[in-house]
Chains A and B, each alone.
Chain A
């Protein structure tokens, strides 16, 4: 008797311990379609796609308290956590959906729920709005950029081997206006030939289109199968993925003292390439071409102010209207091999160039006097090449070095830049 009690207690303890080992799973969303007897169920973990798994067994799924079983259950191939559960009808009074058991993966391990997994049916529109709100928060947290590079303790080494501090910031604050994207960009350094003296802040609307939309329409009309595979392969053989048209306004300024500021309407047309994989998906490249862009605006303050503070300096000619053509291109090459034994775990190379043709005289720095006491038209290019090499990483953060080469001139003062920048880099995954 004593032995059997001991055995029962041991069995109970073992069962409790086993239950504690099973990772928890719950239903995040269970909502009924307003148009059809269909319930969408989203779990907190990725479900297995095994056809014999309990969550695909129609007899082990039911609406409560009406006890109605479904006629079909399917999994979303783009989200293994989501099921579509189809019923012939959803009786009045139904408040809940229950799965006797679900099979799921967590950290690569397949587990079975320790018991029933149930959830109350929620309001359809509220779920949609909640999902959109979550998207907005995720986008805001990311700040519109994946790479959160901090030019920590970075310094600039110019061609003349001077060293100085620098700032290279690109922010995308959220103005909560649908379709409108705002930006703040600063390129500033204290070394003469490393200081682009570039600041711009503004907002723009962006319109996107797909390349060869007829290919997409044919895919929309083709049922799954070999024919659709063929269409997708043809689609993926394209170099260009789509186009973007950006239209916006911005304020340009010399971040040293804002003596030169311009209000500029900025527009551009870009062709973006597909992201093309190489080396068995360990790397990819992508790029863009900006064949045509127009910047037009009004000078709000010219270099004459700075020139006037120096008695010997001649007064700079007044700058009024601004009209520029803008073209450019960019290329990103990326390689990542987390399993490598060598310290080079990730390499990212990014090269961008922009060329501006000025049709009206604009303020610019005089290379001899180092003052904004002259004006110029003509062609001004700016090229930036960034190489990021990551040598160590934790689960969420990577550490490495960034080496940057900058050459050319940027508005509004077109200071000559010839510099190599380098700094430590820390990237976090959002």
Chain B
């Protein structure tokens, strides 16, 4: 009986303690999780750098200096161009290799990258924005 009472008492005591500590734990977990996401986002950024690295790995017409802030890219108006623009020089086949490169750089959104059509007629800026959207949801 005493054992049972003790158990009840302990259980009750634990419950009271839980009511106070669980919200605190939840807040701490949330903060920790938010911090992890922030750190992850800061490390990867919006994916713009990875898009340009993947592209510059298929065509030497695109150059990138990552030692400046923000990185310097040539051609400067790259976001307005399509992959098959003469100043980029990709074909649909080159676009497939660009996607393979990007999948290595951003494996966490591999399925989304796969869903991008392998068409060099796509706009580079729009693809970069899609990658940014994908990373935000990853």
Contact = CB atoms under 8 A, between A and B. Distances in A.
Interface string A119-147: 00000110110011011101101101110
Interface string B31-71: 00010011001000111111111101111110111110011
Contacts of A86: 38, 41
Interface size class of A (residues with CB under 8 A): 35 or more
A61 B46 CA distance: 19
Nearest to A332: B91
Nearest to A281: B61
A94 interface: no
B131 to A, nearest CB: 8
Interface stretch (A149-157, A224-232, A318-326): A224-232
Contact of A131 (B46, B48, B64, B129): B129
Nearest to B101: A210
B71 A127 contact: no
A393 to B, nearest CB: 12
B10 interface: no
Interface stretch (A11-19, A33-41, A258-266, A294-302): A33-41
Interface string A319-363: 000000000000000101000000000100000000000000000
A86 B60 CA distance: 34
A336 B132 contact: no
A132 B112 CA distance: 9
A74 B74 CA distance: 19
A76 B117 CA distance: 22
A96 interface: no
Contacts of B112: 128
B110 interface: no
B66 A224 contact: yes
B134 A128 contact: yes
Nearest to A146: B84
B116 A135 contact: yes
A127 to B, nearest CB: 6
B58 A274 contact: yes
Interface residues of B, number: 75
30 contacts: A29-B129, A38-B41, A40-B132, A40-B133, A79-B48, A79-B124, A81-B129, A135-B116, A135-B127, A138-B121, A138-B122, A139-B122, A145-B92, A146-B120, A178-B115, A206-B96, A208-B97, A209-B100, A210-B101, A216-B104, A220-B104, A224-B49, A225-B66, A229-B67, A232-B57, A235-B56, A242-B96, A242-B101, A286-B91, A346-B86
Interface of A: 29, 31, 33-38, 40, 42, 46, 49, 74-82, 84, 86, 124-125, 127-128, 131-132, 134-136, 138-139, 141-142, 144-146, 178, 181, 206, 208-211, 213, 215-217, 219-220, 224-226, 228-229, 232, 235-236, 241-242, 244, 270, 272, 274-277, 281, 284, 286, 288, 334, 336, 346, 430
Interface of B: 34, 37-38, 41, 45-54, 56-61, 63-67, 70-71, 73, 77-80, 82, 84, 86-94, 96-97, 99-101, 104-106, 112, 115-134, 136-138
Given A84-B45, A236-B56, A284-B86, 19 more contacts: A36-B136, A40-B132, A78-B47, A78-B73, A82-B46, A86-B38, A138-B121, A146-B120, A208-B118, A210-B101, A215-B57, A224-B49, A224-B66, A235-B56, A242-B96, A242-B100, A275-B88, A334-B86, A430-B82
